C-alpha cells in the first residue's frame, strides 16, 4: 500500500520540475543574440569639385572648304607641261600648266602685221582727205568726192582700232596658255596627261581646295536659336567653337562666323558655320567632327562626375559620405546641366563634400560603407592560387601541342585578354 501512495505524492513534484524546465528553456531562448544587420557596402568615393565650367551645345559637324576652285583652260590647245605634282600645296600665282602657245604666238604676229598695214592705209587716207580739203576750197573737186575721202579716212582709223582690239585679245589668249593657281591651297588629282587636247572651258584639269582657313558646318535644334542670338549680341568677340576630332583629345579652336537666316522646315534645325585657322592641317575637307559651340564660362561652379548623380521618384540625388562614422546620406540636388563628363550642381551640394561615385545600388540612408579597392589594387586570385600548386596540363586539341607535365606553369598576369576603354 505504501508504494502507490508514494507515487501519488511524487507526481506533483514531477509536474513542477517539468514546468520549471520549460520556463528555463524559454528564458534561455529569449537571451539569444539578434540577427546582425547588412554588412558595409563597397563603394568608390570622390569629392565635389569647384571649377570653371563652360556652357556649350554639342552637334555633329562636317569640315568644308571656304574656297574651292576647279581649274579649267580658257583656250583650246595641247597640254605641253605640268609644273607641279598632284596632292601638293600650291600658292596663289604658282604656275600649274602650260598649253602649247605656238598657235597663239603666230596669231599675234599676224595681227601685228595687219595693224602695221592698217596704219599705212590710214596715213594714205588721211593725206588724200587733206588734199581734197584744199581742192574743195578751190572748187576743183565736188563735195561728194570730198565726203568720200573723209569717209575713207574714218574707215581706216576704225580698222586700226579693231585690229588693235584683236591683237589685245590674242595677247590675252597667249597669257591663258600659262595657267597659274588662283588661290593657295591643296591640289587634287591631275586629270589630263601631257599631250592631251584641252578644250576651252570644258575639260577639268585639277581641283584646288583652300584649307587654311577652313570651315566647319553644323546644325542645331531651333530651340537654341534665341540663346545663340542673345549671346552673340552680348559678346564683344565671336562665340568660340571647338572642333573635336575622333580619337584625339586636343580640339581645334575657331570662331562662329555665320548662322542662317532661315530654319530648315523639314528638320527644324538651323545651319551654323565656324571658321578655323587650321594651321596644323588637322581639319580635312569632308571629315566629320564634334562641334562645340560655347556660350560662356561659369566660374567656380560645383561639379561632380556624372555617374555620381542618381535619379529617384522625387528627382535627382547624390549619396554624400560621412568619413567620420562611415555612413551615407541621400542628398537631393538640382542639376543645372551636364557638361561632358561632369554634372554642374545648382543647389544641394557644396564643393569639397565627399560623394559616392560607384556602388550606389547597395546603399540606403544611414548605411555603412567601406572604400572598395580599385581593379589595379586587387590581388590576382589566379596567381595566389597557383603559388603552392602545380596546374595540370590541358588536354591538347587537334593541331595543338602542350608542354610536358613537369614544365607546366601558370600563365603570366599580362597574358590575360584586355579590352579598350572609353575616355
Tell me, what CATH number does 257's domain have?
A: 2.40.30.170
Q: What is the CATH number of the domain that holds 333?
A: 2.40.420.20
SS3 of 200, please?
Answer: coil
Report yes or no on 204 lying in a domain.
Answer: yes
Bond before 213 cis per omega within 30 degrees: yes
Please count the other Cβ atoms lying within 10 Å of the Cβ belonging to residue 5.
9
Give how far the C-alpha of residue 88 lies from the chain's centroid of Cα atoms, to the nearest Å.
25
Q: Sign of torsion, CA 43 48 49 52?
A: positive
Residues 254 and 329 in one domain: no
Backbone Cα Rg of the chain: 47
CA distance 363 to 330: 9
For residue 415, the number of C-alpha atoms closer than 13 Å in the C-beta half-sphere is 6
Residues 87 and 110 in one domain: no
E strand or H helix that includes residue 21: helix 2-30
From the list 203, 170, 169, 162, the residue with the least C-alpha distance to 102 is 170
Q: What is the CATH number of the domain that holds 194?
A: 2.40.50.100
E strand or H helix that includes residue 128: helix 102-137
Residues 93 and 105 in one domain: no
Report yes or no on 120 lying in a domain.
Answer: yes
Q: C-alpha cell of 212?
A: 587654311
CA distance 319 to 330: 5
Domain boundary among 297, 313, 337: 297
Q: C-alpha cell of 64?
A: 568644308
How many residues does the structure list for the chain? Answer: 423
Report yes or no on 113 lying in a domain.
Answer: yes
Residues 266 and 330 in one domain: no
Residues 84 and 185 in one domain: yes
Residues 238 and 278 in one domain: yes
User: Considering its fold, how many domains does the chain have in total?
Assistant: 4
CA distance 141 to 386: 134
Q: What is the CATH number of the domain that holds 146?
A: 1.10.287.470
Residue 404 CB partners (closer than 8 Å, separation 6+): 393
Domain boundary among 371, 400, 415: 371
Check: pTM over 0.75? Answer yes or no: no
CA distance 68 to 210: 6
Domain boundary among 241, 263, 297: 297
Give how far the C-alpha of residue 175 lies from the chain's centroid of Cα atoms, to the nearest Å.
43
Residues 238 and 290 in one domain: yes
From the list 51, 118, 90, 60, the residue with the least C-alpha distance to 341 is 51
CA distance 395 to 398: 10
Report yes or no on 328 lying in a domain.
Answer: yes
Residues 204 and 222 in one domain: no
Q: Sign of torsion, CA 16 22 25 31?
A: negative
Report yes or no on 423 lying in a domain.
Answer: no
- Residue 153 belongs to what domain range? 101-176
Grid look-up 583652260 returns 73
Each residue's pLDDT, cut to its tens digit, for the chain (423 residues) gives 454 544 545 555 555 556 555 554 554 554 455 566 789 999 999 999 999 988 889 999 999 999 999 999 999 999 999 999 999 999 999 999 999 999 999 999 999 999 999 999 999 999 998 998 888 888 888 889 889 989 999 999 999 999 999 999 999 999 999 999 999 999 999 999 999 999 999 999 999 999 999 999 999 999 999 999 999 998 888 999 999 999 888 999 999 999 999 999 999 999 999 999 999 999 999 999 999 999 988 899 999 999 999 999 999 999 999 999 999 999 999 999 888 789 999 999 999 999 999 999 999 999 999 998 876 665 554 444 444 443 434 433 343 333 333 333 333 333 333 333 333
Report yes or no on 394 lying in a domain.
Answer: no
Amino acid at each position: 500500500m505504501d508504494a502507490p501512495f508514494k507515487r501519488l505524492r511524487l507526481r506533483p513534484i514531477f509536474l513542477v520540475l517539468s514546468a520549471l524546465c520549460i520556463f528555463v528553456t524559454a528564458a534561455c531562448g529569449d537571451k539569444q543574440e539578434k540577427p546582425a544587420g547588412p554588412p558595409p557596402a563597397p563603394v568608390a568615393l570622390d569629392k565635389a569639385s569647384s571649377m570653371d565650367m563652360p556652357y556649350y551645345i554639342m552637334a555633329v559637324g562636317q569640315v568644308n572648304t571656304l574656297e574651292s576652285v576647279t581649274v579649267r583652260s580658257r583656250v583650246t590647245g595641247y597640254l605641253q607641261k605640268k609644273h607641279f605634282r598632284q596632292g601638293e600645296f600650291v600658292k596663289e600665282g604658282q604656275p600649274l600648266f602650260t598649253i602649247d602657245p605656238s598657235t597663239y604666238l603666230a596669231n599675234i604676229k599676224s595681227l601685228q602685221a595687219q595693224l602695221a598695214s592698217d596704219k599705212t592705209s590710214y596715213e594714205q587716207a588721211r593725206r588724200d582727205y587733206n588734199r581734197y580739203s584744199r581742192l574743195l576750197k578751190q572748187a576743183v573737186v565736188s563735195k561728194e568726192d570730198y565726203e568720200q575721202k573723209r569717209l575713207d579716212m574714218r574707215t581706216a582709223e576704225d580698222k586700226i582700232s579693231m585690229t588693235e582690239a584683236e591683237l589685245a585679245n590674242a595677247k590675252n589668249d597667249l597669257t591663258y596658255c600659262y595657267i597659274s593657281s588662283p588661290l593657295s591651297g591643296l591640289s587634287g588629282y591631275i586629270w589630263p596627261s601631257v599631250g592631251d587636247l584641252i578644250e576651252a572651258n570644258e575639260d577639268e584639269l585639277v581641283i584646288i581646295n583652300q584649307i587654311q582657313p577652313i570651315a566647319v558646318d553644323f546644325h542645331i535644334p531651333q530651340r537654341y536659336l534665341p540663346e545663340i542670338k542673345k549671346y552673340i549680341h552680348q559678346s564683344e568677340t565671336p562665340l568660340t567653337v571647338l572642333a573635336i576630332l575622333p580619337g584625339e583629345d586636343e580640339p581645334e579652336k575657331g570662331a562662329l562666323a555665320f548662322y542662317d537666316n532661315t530654319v530648315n522646315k523639314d528638320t527644324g534645325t538651323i545651319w551654323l558655320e565656324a571658321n578655323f585657322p587650321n594651321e596644323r592641317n588637322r581639319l580635312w575637307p569632308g571629315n566629320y567632327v564634334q562641334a562645340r559651340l560655347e556660350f560662356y564660362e561659369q566660374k567656380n561652379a560645383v561639379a561632380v562626375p556624372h555617374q555620381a548623380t542618381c535619379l529617384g521618384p522625387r528627382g535627382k540625388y547624390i549619396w554624400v559620405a560621412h568619413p567620420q562614422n562611415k555612413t551615407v546620406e541621400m542628398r537631393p540636388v538640382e542639376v543645372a546641366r551636364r557638361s561632358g563628363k561632369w554634372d554642374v550642381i545648382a543647389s544641394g551640394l557644396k564643393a569639397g563634400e565627399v560623394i559616392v561615385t560607384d556602388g550606389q545600388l547597395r546603399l540606403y540612408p544611414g548605411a555603412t560603407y567601406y572604400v572598395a579597392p580599385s581593379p589595379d589594387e586587387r590581388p590576382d586570385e589566379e596567381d595566389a592560387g597557383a603559388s603552392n600548386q602545380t596546374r595540370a596540363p590541358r588536354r591538347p586539341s587537334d593541331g595543338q601541342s602542350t608542354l610536358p607535365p613537369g614544365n607546366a606553369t601558370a600563365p603570366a598576369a599580362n597574358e590575360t585578354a584586355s579590352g579598350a576603354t572609353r575616355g
